[in-house]
Amino acid sequence: MINIKSEREIALLKEAGRIVALCHEELKKHIKPGVSTWELNELVEKVILDNNATPSFKGYGGFPASICASVNEVVIHGIPSKKQILKDGDIIAVDIGACYKGYHGDSAWSYHVGKISDKDKLLMEVTRDALFAGLNVIKEGVYLGDVSHAIEAHIKPYGFGIVEEFTGHGVGRNLHEDPAIFNFGTPGTGPILKEGMVLAIEPMVNAGTKNVRILPDRWTTVTKDKSKSAHFEHTIVVRKDGYEILTTL
Ligand code: MG
Ligand code: MG
């Protein structure tokens, strides 16, 4: 069942989203060669706590940190580590969740570390633009399959791999709610969107094939062919004539 949020709830979700956006703003300034992913985790955790929120991911299903830091061939769920030092040419996707008065915000962004290749730049641009291609069809009355299809249609011409095992999702009192939102699909299928639905849209795109595997730590998800991967995500609310991004300042 897809929950419809009241305006009171949306205001709280918006504050959670604002805190997540604030974390990304702060993070941006610190992503450079020589920084460990653990330092980034500490930085984000402080911003969340300083804003009277709690990290949504810490302890979620046993996840040990406040951010997912997914470097290069890591698709999602990378665990921050003091041993993992960013270097020139890396790309890193940082996923952040904050819970404010019981409501979550969820947003991921991919960043370049120093100077990256044109190929990696394209991968990141296509993934980000695919997120907005999906968002831009959202309004009351469209099918969820229309959104999934718009994301897929944007990525396909580039020949990149669209990850199938992980999806976007509803957001609210729970970090993950119905519906699952695939990054590929058929127009005119699935549930019809209604005003007040809060959704996290999050394409995960590989430079190579779509196939992924999970490392023995049970979290870190990598591309099978070791190609790089990008991830962009916003939490939004469906409106009558469009959508409103919640994970923004
Ligand atoms: Mg996320
Ligand atoms: Mg998410």
How far does residue 115's CA lie from ligand 2's centre (Å)? 28
Q: How far is the CA of 86 from the centre of ligand 1 (A)?
A: 21
Query: Model confidence at 109, in pLDDT bands (50, 70, 90)?
Result: very high
Mean pLDDT for 172-193 is: 98
pLDDT in tens, 201-232: 999 999 999 999 999 999 999 999 999 999 99
State the distance from the centre of ligand 2 to the C-alpha of 107, rounded, in angstroms: 7
Report pLDDT for 96: 99
Ordered DSSP codes for 40-53? HHHHHHHHHHHTT-
> How far does residue 78's CA lie from ligand 2's centre (Å)?
14
Distance 239 CA to ligand 1 centre (A): 21
Separation CA 159–CA 234 (nearest Å): 24
If you measure from the C-alpha of residue 182 to the centroid of ligand 1, how many angstroms do you get, rounded to a whole number? Answer: 14
Q: 141 alpha carbon to ligand 1 midpoint, in Å? A: 25
Angle between helices 7-28 and 37-50 (to 10 degrees): 140
pLDDT band at 80 (very low <50, low <70, confident <90, very high): very high
| Per-residue confidence (pLDDT) for residue 151, from 0 to 100 | 99
pLDDT tens-digit series, residues 15-59: 999 999 999 999 999 999 999 999 999 999 999 999 999 999 999
| Cα 202 to ligand 2 centre (Å) | 6
Please name which ligand lies nearest the alpha carbon of 94: 1
> Which amino acid appears at position 224 of this protein?
K
Instruction: Provide the pLDDT confidence category of residue 140 given band limits of 50, 70 and 90.
Output: very high
Residue among 70, 67, 49, 69 nearest 58 (CA) = 67
> Which tokens in the block code for residue 75?
């698709």
Distance from the alpha carbon of residue 108 to the mean position of ligand 2, in angstroms: 8
Write the CB contacts of 73 (distance below 8 Å, at least 6 apart in sequence).
222, 223, 226, 227, 228, 229
* Ligand number with the minimum distance to the CA of 171: 2
